[in-house]
C-alpha cells in the first residue's frame, strides 16, 4: 500500500461514525487512568476555543504529551503522525480513529503543511509542537516559522500550552512512565498573523509565540 492509499484509508477511518467513539474512549481512559497516576492538574482550559480552526501549540517534552493533552477539551484533537505507524492495519485503524493522519518521512515538511492546511480549513483543532521535536528542561527551544505560516494561511488562532513533568515521567528511551506530578497551563489564544504578511512579520509573530509559550511553561513548572 503506497502513501496515497494509506492517507485515503486514514481519511475514511477518521470520518467513520466509529471514530468519535474510539477517541472518546481513549480520552476517557487518559482522564481516569493517566491523569490520576501523574496527579495531573491543569489551568486555563477555558482558553481553548470551542469551535473554528485552532492550533494547539504545546511544548514537547515526552511521548506522553499528546495523550495527556486530550482530556483538556471535548473537541477531537487532530494530529500528524509518521507513516510507519500506519503499516499494521489494526494499529492504523486506531490511530486514524484518534484523528491522526499519516505523513511520509521523506516529504514530511511539504506534505505535513498541505495536510495540516486541509485539516484547519475544515475547522479542526490541530496539535502542532512549535519546537518541532522533544526538548529537555523548561526553556522553550527555538521555534520555526512553520506555525506562523500555517496560522496565517488558515487564519487559525494559536493556543500555547505549558507542560511540566512529562519529561521526568517518561524521558526519551524510557519504557515505563514514573508517577511524577504533571502540570499543564493553557494560555489565551493568539490571533494569527496577516495572511499576506512579510516574512519579517512572521518572525516577529513567532517571537511573540515564543514569549507566550515560555510564560505558560514557567507557570506550569512553578505549579509542579
Q: What is the DSSP string of 149-174?
A: HHHHHHT-EEEEEEEESHHHHS-TT-
Q: Provide the pLDDT confidence category of residue 1 given band limits of 50, 70 and 90.
A: low
Helices 18-29, 89-97: axis angle to 10 degrees equals: 80
- 157, 49 contact by CB (below 8 A): yes
Q: Provide the pLDDT confidence category of residue 160 given band limits of 50, 70 and 90.
A: very high
pLDDT at 7: 79
Judge if pTM exceeds 0.75: yes
Q: Provide the pLDDT confidence category of residue 2 given band limits of 50, 70 and 90.
A: low
With 0-12 / 13-18 / 19 or more C-beta atoms within 10 angstroms meaning exposed / middle / buried, residue 134 is middle
Question: CA-to-CA distance for 59 and 48, rounded, in angstroms?
Answer: 16
Rg (CA), the chain: 17
Spell out the domain ranges in the chain: 3-223
Question: CA-to-CA distance for 128 and 193, rounded, in angstroms?
Answer: 16
How many degrees, rounded to 5, is the angle at CA 22 between CA 19 and CA 24? 105
Average pLDDT (194-222) is 92
> Could you tell me which of 22, 118, 23 has the C-alpha nearest to residue 71?
23
Bridge partners of 77, per DSSP, are 125
pLDDT at 175: 81
pLDDT by residue (tens digit) across 171-196?
A: 877 788 899 999 999 999 999 999 88
pLDDT by residue (tens digit) across 97-154?
A: 888 888 765 555 677 788 889 999 999 999 998 987 788 889 998 898 889 999 999 9
With 0-12 / 13-18 / 19 or more C-beta atoms within 10 angstroms meaning exposed / middle / buried, residue 211 is exposed
Average pLDDT (44-50) is 96
Looking at every residue in the chain, the average pLDDT score rounds to 89
3-state helix, strand, coil in the chain (%, to 5): 50, 15, 35
Q: Provide the pLDDT confidence category of residue 221 given band limits of 50, 70 and 90.
A: very high
Domain 3-223 CATH superfamily: Glycerol-3-phosphate (1)-acyltransferase (3.40.1130.10)
Average pLDDT (15-31) is 92
Amino acid at each position: 500500500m503506497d502513501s496515497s492509499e494509506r492517507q485515503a484509508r486514514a481519511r475514511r477511518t477518521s470520518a467513520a461514525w466509529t471514530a468519535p467513539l474510539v477517541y472518546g474512549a481513549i480520552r476517557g481512559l487518559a482522564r481516569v487512568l493517566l491523569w490520576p497516576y501523574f496527579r495531573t492538574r491543569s489551568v486555563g482550559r477555558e482558553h481553548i476555543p470551542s469551535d473554528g480552526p485552532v492550533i494547539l501549540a504545546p511544548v514537547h517534552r515526552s511521548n506522553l504529551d499528546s495523550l495527556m493533552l486530550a482530556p483538556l477539551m471535548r473537541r477531537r484533537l487532530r494530529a500528524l503522525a509518521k507513516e510507519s505507524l500506519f503499516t499494521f492495519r489494526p494499529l492504523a485503524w486506531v490511530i486514524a480513529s484518534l484523528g491522526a493522519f499519516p505523513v511520509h518521512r521523506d516529504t514530511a515538511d511539504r506534505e505535513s503543511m498541505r495536510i495540516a492546511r486541509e485539516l484547519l480549513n475544515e475547522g479542526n483543532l490541530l496539535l502542532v509542537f512549535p519546537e518541532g521535536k522533544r526538548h529537555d528542561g523548561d526553556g522553550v527551544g527555538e521555534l520555526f516559522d512553520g506555525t506562523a505560516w500555517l496560522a496565517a494561511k488558515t487564519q487559525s488562532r494559536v493556543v500555547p500550552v505549558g507542560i511540566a513533568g512529562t519529561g521526568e515521567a517518561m524521558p526519551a528511551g524510557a519504557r515505563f512512565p514514573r508517577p511524577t506530578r504533571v502540570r499543564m497551563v493553557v494560555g489565551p489564544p493568539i490571533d494569527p498573523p496577516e495572511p499576506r504578511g512579510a516574512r519579517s512579520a512572521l518572525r516577529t509573530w513567532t517571537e511573540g509565540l515564543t514569549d507566550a509559550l515560555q510564560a505558560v511553561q514557567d507557570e506550569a513548572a512553578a505549579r509542579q
